């Protein structure tokens, strides 16, 4: 499950911006059930964000926790980062923000959704979760 955290200056994004950006982020993960993708927007006050020991008003820091899939080759990482850049550009780069992004990857086998162990990639059960857009009991372990 990707969980993105977007740390940004107060007022950087409207409610409509947040919805549109979260949809673009969700679209990056088209092979996953949409309910797997979470995005948290965290406003950071001007006196609470420091870069190099100095306050910053123009910086956006984004982290993504990956569990459902891992990026297992340089080619996959390059493709993924290109998708990320394209999704973020209208909201961050084109608005003149400085930014940083990184991914943490957590082992799949220590993850549950609604108390269920998620189905493995490409299985019939994962396709069912995607079609139903929700977790359900029967899974492939």
Question: Which of 34-38, 66-70, 95-99 has the weakest average pLDDT?
Answer: 66-70
- DSSP state, 83? H
Mean pLDDT of the chain: 94
Q: Where in the chain is the domain with CATH 3.30.429.10?
A: 3-106
Burial tier of 8 (Cβ tally within 10 Å: 0-12, 13-18, 19+): buried
Picking from 96, 106, 105, 99, the residue whose alpha carbon sits closest to that of residue 6 is: 99
Which pLDDT score, from 0 to 100, does residue 139 have? 65
Top pLDDT among 121 and 89 is at 89
Q: Beta strand 59-66 with 3-9: parallel, antiparallel or unpaired?
A: antiparallel
How far apart, in whole angstroms, are the C-alpha atoms of residue 89 and residue 132? 31
CATH fold of the domain at 3-106: Macrophage Migration Inhibitory Factor (3.30.429)
Q: Which pLDDT belongs to residue 1?
A: 84
């Amino acid at each position: 499950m990707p969980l993105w955290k977007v740390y940004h200056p107060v007022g950087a994004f409207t409610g409509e911006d947040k919805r549109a950006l979260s949809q673009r982020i969700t679209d990056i993960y088209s092979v996953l059930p949409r309910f797997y993708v979470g995005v948290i927007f965290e406003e950071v006050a001007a006196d609470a964000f420091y870069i190099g020991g100095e306050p910053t008003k123009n910086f956006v820091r984004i982290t993504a926790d990956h569990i459902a899939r891992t990026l297992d080759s340089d080619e996959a990482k390059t493709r993924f980062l290109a998708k990320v850049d394209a999704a973020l550009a209208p909201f961050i780069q084109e608005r003149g923000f400085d930014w940083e992004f990184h991914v943490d990857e957590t082992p799949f086998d220590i993850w549950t959704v609604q108390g269920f162990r998620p189905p493995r990639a490409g299985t019939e059960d994962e396709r069912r979760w995607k079609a139903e857009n929700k977790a359900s009991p029967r899974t492939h372990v």
